[in-house]
Amino acid sequence: MTKTKILIIEDDAEISRLTAMYLEAEGFDTRIIDDGLAAQTAIKNYVPDLVILDLMLPGLSGIEICKQSRAFYCGPILILTACDDDVSEVSLLKLGADDFLTKPLKPHVLVARIEALMRRVTPTEVKQEKSKHSRLTIDLDRQTVTFDGAVLSLTGAEFEMLVLLNNSMGTPVSREDCCQALRGLEHDFNDRSIDMRISGLRKKIHDDQMPYKIITTVRNKGYMLLNG
Question: Residue ranges per domain, the chain?
Answer: 5-121, 123-225
Our measurement of the distance from residue 163's CA atom to the centroid of its chain's CA atoms, rounded to an integer in Å, reads 13
Burial 115-139 (b: 16+ CB within 10 A, else e): ebbbbbbeeeebeeeebebeebbbe
The region of weakest confidence among 39-48, 82-91, 99-108, 156-165 is: 82-91
Task: Report the C-alpha gap between 185 and 162 in whole angstroms.
Answer: 19
CATH of the domain spanning 5-121, picked from 3.40.640.10, 3.40.50.2300, 3.40.30.10, 3.40.50.300? 3.40.50.2300
Say whether pLDDT at 126 is over 50. no
Q: What is the pLDDT of residue 132?
A: 64
Say whether pLDDT at 137 is over 50. yes
CB-CB contact of 30 with 20 (8 Å): yes
Task: Report the C-alpha gap between 201 and 12 in whole angstroms.
Answer: 35
Say whether pLDDT at 112 is over 60. yes
Q: At a CB cut-off of 8 Å and minimum separation 6, what does 14 contact?
A: none
197: number of Cβ within 10 Å = 23
Confidence (pTM)? 0.58
The region of weakest confidence among 9-23, 31-45, 137-151 is: 137-151
CATH topology match: 5-121 vs 123-225: no
Give me the mean pLDDT over the 44-53 stretch.
93
Question: Taking the domain 123-225, which CATH number applies?
Answer: 1.10.10.10
